[in-house]
């Protein structure tokens, strides 16, 4: 930190920090995990499901609606420290992959007032998670998550180089008999060779605040990073896994099938074979692998 000269010290001493309106700062976390489907056929390896951790709000506003885990920043905390603290309170996991999704600051996003959310995406092995409800939550549950493109419309604006693409997404979340369904409209504008993106919530479907929009953004970001650098997917895996389990994790995130031969060639340098095997009734033993740690020290 640079030294302050006398003039600067006097300026800081006399500065009125209340001169400008100040928002409350919060951190929300979209916590993703890959988990086996417990209802699957015992003769096959369980199908992998992408899941999202949600809490049911126990207090106003949006009491009894479902929301992302999160909370307000404490004095002296960075927003990342706030997110890490909230994540630990909800999952009892101290270290997890976290990446900023975006900052949400619309003045009407929270009826309590001007509250800016710094939203992070967290990835973890959900089997290690001991999820529990925090201060303003009545319960916490893992939800299966699906995102479908419902409609897309392209409109040319002024000139041939300007276009607007409106896409409506249907977000489906399910946990046993709880079914949530939201619709979010994404508006992409390309003008003067620059892109701008905005979102409108058409139906919140039992999700609090603007969290339907945030979840859509977080899942889209997870897919985009996975396509660019598949190493992010390993944060969803247990320490030991089969190559089939790893491939299914990729397919679950990307929502598309991958050719096994191409996939195994692509990730060959990211995994190390172990002398362990996965055994279970109804299917053949499968070799277990773990991540090649050296490959993960390389920058993206």
Q: Where are the alpha helices (DSSP H) in 41-196?
A: 79-91
Average pLDDT, the chain: 90
Provide, rounded to the nearest whole percent, the portion of the chain with pLDDT above 70: 90
| Residue 136 clears pLDDT 70, i.e. is over it | no
- How far apart CA 282 and CA 41 sit, in angstroms, is 9
Residue 124 per-residue DSSP state: -
Task: Write the pLDDT tens digit of every residue in 63-115.
Answer: 999 999 999 999 999 999 999 999 999 888 888 999 999 999 999 999 999 99
Angle between helices 243-254 and 260-267 (to 10 degrees): 100
Which residues are CB-neighbours of 115 under 8 A, at least 6 positions away?
23, 24, 25, 26, 109
- Identify the bridge partners of residue 112 per DSSP, sorted by sequence position: none
- How far apart CA 279 and CA 285 sit, in angstroms, is 5
- How far apart CA 123 and CA 52 sit, in angstroms, is 10
Task: Write the pLDDT tens digit of every residue in 193-237.
Answer: 889 999 999 999 999 999 999 999 999 999 999 999 999 999 999
Q: Higher pLDDT residue, 280 or 161?
A: 161
- How far apart CA 24 and CA 228 sit, in angstroms, is 34
Domain 24-296 has CATH 3.30.565.10: no
Q: Closest Cα to residue 46, out of 195, 277, 249, 257?
A: 249
Active site members: 139
- The pLDDT, as a whole number, for residue 3 is 59
| Residue 54 clears pLDDT 80, i.e. is over it | yes
- The pLDDT, as a whole number, for residue 271 is 96
- The pLDDT, as a whole number, for residue 162 is 86
| Residue 134 clears pLDDT 70, i.e. is over it | no
Q: Closest Cα to residue 128, out of 142, 138, 139, 146?
A: 142
| Residue 1 clears pLDDT 80, i.e. is over it | no
Which residues are CB-neighbours of 299 under 8 A, at least 6 positions away?
none
């Amino acid at each position: 930190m640079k030294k302050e000269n006398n003039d600067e010290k006097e300026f800081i001493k006399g500065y009125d920090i209340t001169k400008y309106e100040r928002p409350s700062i919060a951190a929300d976390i979209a916590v993703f995990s890959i988990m086996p489907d417990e209802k699957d056929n015992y003769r096959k390896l369980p199908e992998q499901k992408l899941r999202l951790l949600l809490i049911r709000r126990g207090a106003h506003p949006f009491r009894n609606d479902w929301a992302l885990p999160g909370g307000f920043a404490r004095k002296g905390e960075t927003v990342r420290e706030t997110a890490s603290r909230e994540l630990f309170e909800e999952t009892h996991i101290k270290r997890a992959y976290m990446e900023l999704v975006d900052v949400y600051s619309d003045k009407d996003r929270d009826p309590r007032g001007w509250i800016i959310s710094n939203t992070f995406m967290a990835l973890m092995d959900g089997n290690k998670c001991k999820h529990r409800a925090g201060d303003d939550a009545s319960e916490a549950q893992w939800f299966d998550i699906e995102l479908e493109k419902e409609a897309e419309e392209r409109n040319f604006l002024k000139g041939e180089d300007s276009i607007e693409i409106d896409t409506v997404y249907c977000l489906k979340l399910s946990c046993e008999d709880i079914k949530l369904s939201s619709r979010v409209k994404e508006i992409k504008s390309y003008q003067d060779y620059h892109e701008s993106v905005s979102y409108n919530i058409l139906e919140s479907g039992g999700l609090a605040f603007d969290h339907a929009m945030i979840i859509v953004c977080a899942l889209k970001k997870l897919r985009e990073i996975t396509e660019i650098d598949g190493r992010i997917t390993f944060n969803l895996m247990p320490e030991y896994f089969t190559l089939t389990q790893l491939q299914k994790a990729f397919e679950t995130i990307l929502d598309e099938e991958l050719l096994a031969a191409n996939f195994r060639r692509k990730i060959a340098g990211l995994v190390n074979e172990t002398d362990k095997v996965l055994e279970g009734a109804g299917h053949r033993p499968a070799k277990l692998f773990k991540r090649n740690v050296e490959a993960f020290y390389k920058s993206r």
